Amino acid sequence: MNKTRFTLRILTLFAFTLTISIVANAQATRTWVSGVGDDVNPCSRTAPCKTFAGAISKTADGGEIDCIDPGGFGTVTITKSITIDGGGTFGSILAAGNNGVNVNDSGSGAPNSKVVRLRNLSINGAGTGVNGINGTSFKKLYVENCVIAGFDNSTSSRAIKVALTVSNSQQVFVTDTNVSPGGAVTVQGSGIDITNSGGLVSFLLDNVRVEGFQGDGIILQANANGAIRNTAVALNSGIGVKVTAGSSNVELESCEIQQNSTGVSPANGGTVVFSNTSVFGNNTGVASVAGAILTSHGNNQFTLNGGGVTPGSIGQQ
């Protein structure tokens, strides 16, 4: 009997220990960070973490990380579906010499399937950051109401860089977001760069400001198809909207493209559609490229540019 009781006690203790271990390692749907938090905490509302990197390991796939109070919460690599939201306070990432946010689900067991949403964040590269947001593997990427600045480390630095290599279709949405260089820019960082060398990436840029870069404003490389609307691309020393491949097509709707070296540079075989857009005060308004397809709905303004071509009108319905 004593032996039986002893065995039962051992089994009970084991079950209790296992339960505690499972609870301790469980991931929460919503976690929290605070400027005075600690990454050893469970990232709960009453015991928040200090960094996004600390919180993401304790957040379930499809969950959300929120900011309790103002703070700089560090760079982060995202490998799962997640929302990071700094709304209601000041959520920031300082990424001197590094990428601010890496989005890469390639090692997750379900690559190119994750949905990532970055909202209400200030991402600052302090003039030496590499890329503000560097997306290499995901299904959908949302950047909402963010300020991204100071990523000017080299000619390949970007505020937002999406470089995919997958054969299936991915999607990128950037809305209500400002991207700009750092304070003392001496190299050619650029604004937004989107490409997919393996398949198609569809994009929508809505109410975005891309201003003041020594390089280009928006670069659309291979297989980047989508729309840019309600967006200002201004005062960039390079090209405002640059299409580098015939496999990419873009519609410019209600945009201001002004005072760049070249306003819009299309690609041989690619299509650029202009609607209710002003191309104003650029050294070259729309570059002449053999084989490029340029069309206008007849409601655009091409004024005070130093040169360039005027797209042919296709009228409106």
User: Could you report the per-residue pLDDT of 84-122, keeping only the tens digit for each?
Assistant: 999 999 999 999 999 999 999 999 999 999 999 999 999
Q: Which residue has the higher pLDDT, 183 or 272?
A: 272
Question: Nearest 5°: CA angle at 243, between 147 and 218?
Answer: 10
* Predicted confidence (pLDDT) per residue in 206-236, tens digit: 999 999 999 999 999 999 999 999 999 999 9
Residue 193 lies in a domain: yes
Interacting residues of 52 by C-beta distance below 8 A, sequence separation 6+: 33, 65, 73, 74, 75, 76, 84, 93
Q: What per-residue confidence (pLDDT) applies to 152?
A: 87
Give me the mean pLDDT over the 292-313 stretch. Answer: 94
Residue 28, pLDDT > 70, answer yes
Q: Is residue 58 part of a domain?
A: no
Question: Does 25 or 297 have the greater pLDDT score?
Answer: 297
What is the pLDDT confidence band of residue 4, given thresholds at 50, 70 and 90? low
Residue 227 belongs to some domain of the structure: yes
Distance (Å, rounded) from C-alpha 128 to C-alpha 141?
24
User: CA neighbours within 13 Å on the CB side: how many for 297?
Assistant: 13
Query: Is residue 49 assigned to a domain?
Result: no
pLDDT at position 17:
44
Give the pLDDT mean for 290-305. 96
In a domain, 35, yes or no: no
pLDDT at residue 40, as a whole number: 98
- Cα 179 → chain centroid: 10
- Residues whose CB is less than 8 angstroms from the CB of residue 237 and which lie 6 or more positions away in sequence, other chains included: 188, 213, 214, 215, 260, 261
Mean per-residue pLDDT, 58-82: 98
Q: Does residue 308 carry a pLDDT above 60?
A: yes
Q: pLDDT band at residue 46, thresholds of 50, 70 and 90? A: very high
CA–CA gap between residue 262 and residue 302 (Å, rounded): 12
Q: Give the pLDDT band (50/70/90) at residue 24.
A: very low
Number of domains within the chain: 1
Tell me the pLDDT band of 315, cut-offs 50, 70 and 90.
Answer: low
Q: Identify whether 18 is part of a domain.
A: no
pLDDT of residue 16: 44
Q: What is the 3-state secondary structure (H, E, C) of 227-280?
A: EEECCEEECCCCEEEEECCCCCEEEEECCEEECCCEEEECCCCCEEEEECCEEE
- Mean pLDDT for 34-57 is 97
Identify whether 7 is part of a domain: no
Give the burial class of 60: count Cβ atoms within 10 A of its Cβ; 0-12 exposed, 13-18 middle, 19 or more buried: middle
Window from 64-78, 114-128, 303-317 with minimum mean pLDDT: 303-317
In a domain, 260, yes or no: yes
Q: What pLDDT digit, counting tens, does each position of 124-154 carry?
A: 999 899 999 999 999 999 999 999 999 988 9
- 7 pLDDT band, cuts 50/70/90, is low
316 confidence band (pLDDT: 50, 70, 90): low
| Structural domain for 301, as ranges | 80-313
- Residues 140 and 170: their CA atoms lie apart, in Å, by 6
